[in-house]
Amino acid sequence: MRVLITGGNGYIGNALVDAFCRAGHQVSATTREEKQRGKIERFGARAVIWNLADCRSLVPEIRQTDVLVHAAFEMKPEGAGRDREAVGFFLEELARTSGLRRFLYTSGVWVLGNTRDNVVGDNAVPEKSPEMVAWRPPIERIVLGSAAKGITPLVIRPGIVYGGAGGLTGFLMGTATREKGIPVIGSGHNRWSPVHRDDLADLYVRAAEQAPVASVLNGTDGSCPTVAMIAGALSEALGFEGRTTSLSPDEARRSWGSLADGLALDQCVPGDWAGRLLGWYPRHRSIVSEAEALVRSWKAAQSA
């Protein structure tokens, strides 16, 4: 299939480029900067210079694609609005093409809120989400509603993505010190639903190739460790003797903004629906046991 990926040089997007190329697809992927072209082309994909603020320049690419995977996002105040505008534009253009018209939208499990109190069934869009991601469910509904236009829409909600030097584990290591170790919000007894980015990329490929129309897939490995367990393992691997430091929610918000509200969520989100539907079974099942590998990757990136 002809696959177009937005955000192809990003933390998730770059893993998607690799996975779709290895699966034998003809891949094009966007990047905002010419100097990042090599991160895409190293896998055999074609790089397209593009950014979310200029959606319409992507029309020629969309009209030559079978599958559009939207993984780009701008971490700016206007990011949500641009994402909404881009999705509406993509769906309009895909409806005009003669390709397979498959659209994969990247959302996130944070839309489900604290799952201990708010259990949402498989393939469902929540009626209410935490404030920092409250804009996402309306976009999910727009995406899923595009099935009426002859599009095969799919929503993928990654969990806490890890692997390599980036992601939230890289963020936590970047905030750590030898004296205080890894910061956690409160007691750290809240749970995260992780997924290794290689496993997540495999889910995207399977979804693009075989998922039924209007599927919503939670991309998690089902392990649900506490944040304290993750932070302690990273701290130990960093040589900080497992030390962690507790931040109050207000302290965390002052340092990290609305990201702190997401990090404080207590979530145990299963990914078994994707397993039953697509035969997707993550190979990486323990973010805690991979702490040393994560630290090695992070340190290598810091010295590069």
| Predicted confidence (pLDDT) per residue in 129-186, tens digit | 999 999 999 999 999 999 999 999 999 999 999 999 999 999 999 999 999 999 999 9
- At residue 123, the pLDDT reads 86
Mean pLDDT of all residues in 216-237: 97
What pLDDT, in 10s, does the model give residues 61-70?
999 999 999 9
Secondary structure tally for the chain: helices H, strands E: 12, 11
25 and 172 share one domain: no
Residue 117 confidence (pLDDT) above 80: no
Residue 26: HSE in the Cβ half-sphere, 13 Å Cα cutoff = 6
Query: Domain limits at 262?
Result: 167-190+224-268+284-303
155 and 263 share one domain: no
47 and 137 share one domain: yes
67 and 216 share one domain: yes
> Residue 4 in contact with residue 28, Cβ under 8 Å?
yes
Average model confidence (pLDDT) across the chain: 95
32 and 95 share one domain: yes
Mean pLDDT of all residues in 233-259: 97
Query: CATH no. for residue 115?
Result: 3.40.50.720
259 and 134 share one domain: no
96 and 216 share one domain: yes
72 and 48 share one domain: yes
Query: Which string of DSSP letters, residue by residue, matches 177-192?
Result: BTTTBEEEETTS-SB-
- At residue 53, the pLDDT reads 87
147 and 177 share one domain: no
In the chain, what percentage of residues exceed pLDDT 90?
Answer: 91
Mean pLDDT of all residues in 237-263: 97
Mean pLDDT of all residues in 232-240: 98
- At residue 122, the pLDDT reads 77
Residue 134: HSE in the Cβ half-sphere, 13 Å Cα cutoff = 6
217 and 296 share one domain: no
- At residue 303, the pLDDT reads 86
Residue 232 confidence (pLDDT) above 90: yes
> Residue 154 in contact with residue 215, Cβ under 8 Å?
yes
Q: Which residues contact 229 (CB under 8 A, 6 or more apart)?
A: 288
In whole angstroms, what is the distance from residue 84 CA to residue 136 CA?
Answer: 9
Residue 101 zone, left/alpha/beta (φ > 0; ψ -120 to 50; rest): left
Helices (H), the chain: 11-22, 37-41, 59-62, 79-94, 136-145, 167-175, 197-210, 227-238, 249-256, 259-263, 272-278, 291-303
Residue 86 confidence (pLDDT) above 80: yes
- At residue 287, the pLDDT reads 98
Q: Which residues contact 78 (CB under 8 A, 6 or more apart)?
A: none
What pLDDT, in 10s, does the model give residues 260-299?
999 999 999 999 999 999 999 999 999 999 999 999 999 9
Cβ neighbour number for residue 47 with a 10 Å cutoff: 20
- At residue 76, the pLDDT reads 82
208 and 119 share one domain: yes
- At residue 286, the pLDDT reads 96
Q: How many domains does one find in the chain?
A: 2
36 and 181 share one domain: no
> Residue 29 in contact with residue 17, Cβ under 8 Å?
yes
Residue 119 confidence (pLDDT) above 90: no
Measuring CA to CA, how many Å separate 79 from each of 9, 103, 110? 17, 20, 16
Residue 121 confidence (pLDDT) above 80: no
- How long, in residues, is the chain? 304
pLDDT band at residue 39 under the 50/70/90 scheme: very high
Residue with tokens 């639903």: 193
Residue 158: closest CA among 6, 3, 13, 4? 13
- At residue 29, the pLDDT reads 98
Helices 227-238 and 167-175: angle between axes, nearest 10 degrees = 60
